[in-house]
Amino acid sequence: MKPEEVEIFEIKDKSLAARIGELITAHGKITTPTLFPVINPLYQEVSLETIKNIGYEAIITNAYILKKHREQEVSKEGIHKYLNFNGPIMTDSGGYQILEYGDVEVEPHEIVKFQERIGSDIAVILDVPTGGQASYDEAKWTVEETLRRARLSLKYIKEEKTIWVLPIQGGKYLDLLEYCAKKALEMPQYKMISIGSPTQILEKYDYQTLVKMIITVKNIIPPKYPVHLFGAGHPMFFPFAVALGIDTFDSASYILYAKDERIILPHGTLRLREIKEIPCTCPVCSKYTVQELLSLRRDERIKLLATHNLYIIWQEIKKIREAIRENTLWDLLEERRHSHPALLKAFKELVKYSKYIEKYHPLPKPEISGIFLYDKLSLHRPEILRHRRNIVSKYKPPTAFKVALVLFDIEAKPITRTNFYREIREKVSIEDVHILVFMPYFGIVPEELAETFPLSQHEKDYDEAVLANSLRVVYDYFLYHRDSYKKVVLAVKYPTLEVKNLAEKLSSEGLKTHVLRYSEENVEDLVNEVLKFL
């Protein structure tokens, strides 16, 4: 098998466009999604033993800094022995230094050969990051130069054990990202793809732009490629990135926030000097009070705060993974979108790509619990999209009916287990009348589907926008299945203008449609009225 044909990534589970995978490296398997903590190769505030004990399987360090300051030593020992870490190690090539300082004192082929020589498990070519402030022409140059260097580096890549990463540049310019991603696929020797230089975008909490960037790249890159996000920053964005298909991250946020005496929490950060209690029970926070931490020497305090931050980040990774296994990642996004305005903007951007997400979202698992629906943004949930599409284009009524009885204002679910439904069925022939229920979000639910997931396993809140949107599904349903019914009866407890307008629209399409008022306490009257339409 040729090196470019070796499969290094196996997908184990899915939810939305997220996946739990197994990334196979020379020093062991990595479960994804995961984070590689950024390690300063010259000085480690938190020991690698502590990082590994927390749960991190892999780390990332800077090959350029090692070459510049410790070339002979690390070349002789190899990076794993030098760092005293026997798990997978990813090395960056100096791209971040180019972004920060404009240039580095190394040629692209030199850093490629160096990373292979020291035994990097995952290595990055010396790309030219676009950054978040580049003009279009500057961004275009970074794309072409990165691709040129990628082609050049192929002449020097010899070690088959190293997974080589090709960063996709272009920044916020989506056409450049798309172009770069397509060109990357012409070089199959690169088995891993990364989205380069989002750091400056993340620093501004511009998650909305990052959503667009991820979607653009993922729409081009086949699922077999693991995709890395450089400089991922605060973990509160991780669920959104993972939901779009990001597999691995790296971040130095744990130590950068610690040096600023800030502690990371799932929903944001807190300044240590501005709080009385830390809302956390990690080993650090269980042992030290705020006052005790403040009384320590600064270097000791930084180490402990960084350790806390690593615990919180790892907790978030585990929470995301479990949401994927349970196929409830959308619920986690719904929860997190309320925690920060930037995340709400990201979620609003994410739902624009609901068709992309729904394409990868797996079928529900038998043991899954119910889903929660909040507002019009929940209309983009994959389960909602699938029901609406299938009920119009794939569902087929079991026979031709004389009457379609659509019950509005029903809260009980499934309706088929209510006495109200049973009483109607005792008096009305199943061959003559097809009972359907209007449900906000789903639109319309035939009786024979009422007990299927998630039609009977959801909790909801909704507004007029959701109702109006859902009524359109009823209209589409009857237009598509117009030959299956002679008459349509819209039965309501509380007549509304919207339902009356729906009846008029259906009538104008040639469907004999009537609005009927009913009460669940008076089934006899409802049945008698329905029988008049037979």
* Residue 369 · residue 457 · CB < 8 Å: yes
Active site residue 375: no
E strand intervals along 272-388: 371-373
Choosing from 92, 127, 247, 250, which is the catalytic residue? 92
Q: CA-CA distances (angstroms) from residue 162 to 115, 222, 481, 498?
A: 9, 21, 57, 62
Separation CA 69–CA 63 (nearest Å): 10
Q: CA-CA distances (angstroms) from residue 508 to 78, 181, 503?
A: 78, 50, 9
Sign of the dihedral defined by the CA atoms of residues 347, 351, 356, 360, in that order: positive
Q: What secondary structure, in 3-state letters, does 309-321 show?
A: HHHHHHHHHHHHH
* Residue 310 · residue 37 · CB < 8 Å: yes
Sign of the dihedral defined by the CA atoms of residues 447, 452, 458, 463, in that order: negative
Q: How many CA atoms lie within 13 A of 167 on its CB side?
A: 30
E strand intervals along 206-247: 227-229
* Residue 74 · residue 118 · CB < 8 Å: yes
Residue 37 pairs in a beta bridge with 251
Separation CA 439–CA 457 (nearest Å): 12
The number of beta carbons lying within 10 Å of the beta carbon of residue 375 is 14
Separation CA 373–CA 378 (nearest Å): 6
Token readout for 506 is 């259906």
Number of residues that make up the chain:
534
Separation CA 129–CA 461 (nearest Å): 44
Q: CA-CA distances (angstroms) from residue 253 to 87, 111, 161, 231, 242?
A: 21, 25, 29, 8, 18
Q: Catalytic residue positions?
A: 92
